[in-house]
Every structure is written in C-alpha cells, then in structure tokens.
Amino acid sequence: MSENTTPSYDQAFAELQQIMQALQNDEISVDELAAKVQRASELIILCNTRLRDTEKKVSEIIDELGL
C-alpha cells in the first residue's frame, strides 16, 4: 500500500495489531518508537472515524425503514 492510499478499516486494524504486538514483544527500537506510536495514533483515529461513520449510516438506514 502506498503512502497516499488510505487503508480500509480492516487494513488499518491489522496494522495497528501488528504495531501493538511488536510493542508488547519489545521488537521496536528506541529509534523507531516515536514513529510507531505516531502511526498507531493515526490508525486509531482512522478506525474510530470509520466506526462512527458506519454507525451513523446504519442508524439512518434503520430510521428510513421505520424500525
């Protein structure tokens, strides 16, 4: 995936899990730590935004159906 491509929710979540696993296993060097934490922050924001947007759309659909 290129730098300019926004990952899907599943891709972002998978990358976040990889970063978290590497942090838990002490696989990230001090030199990489700030960049990895920054990337994890970006992924968390992306995932939260996608979840909120999806929840809103589902609610709108349910409202349209009168359920």
State the pLDDT confidence band at 4, using cuts at 50, 70 and 90.
Answer: low
pTM: 0.81
Residue 6 belongs to some domain of the structure: no
Judge residue 19's burial from the number of C-beta atoms within 10 Å of its C-beta, 0-12 exposed, 13-18 middle, 19 or more buried.
Answer: middle
Residue 2 belongs to some domain of the structure: no
Residue 2: the pLDDT is 47
State the pLDDT confidence band at 3, using cuts at 50, 70 and 90.
Answer: low
pLDDT tens readout for residues 5-58: 899 999 999 999 999 999 999 999 999 999 999 999 999 999 999 999 999 999
User: Among candidates 39, 49, 35, which has minimal Cα distance to 16?
Assistant: 39
Residue 12 belongs to some domain of the structure: no
- The range of the structural domain enclosing residue 50 comes to 30-67
DSSP string, the chain: --TTSPPPHHHHHHHHHHHHHHHHTT-S-HHHHHHHHHHHHHHHHHHHHHHHHHHHHHHHHHHHHT-
The total of structural domains in the chain comes to 1
Residue 49 belongs to some domain of the structure: yes
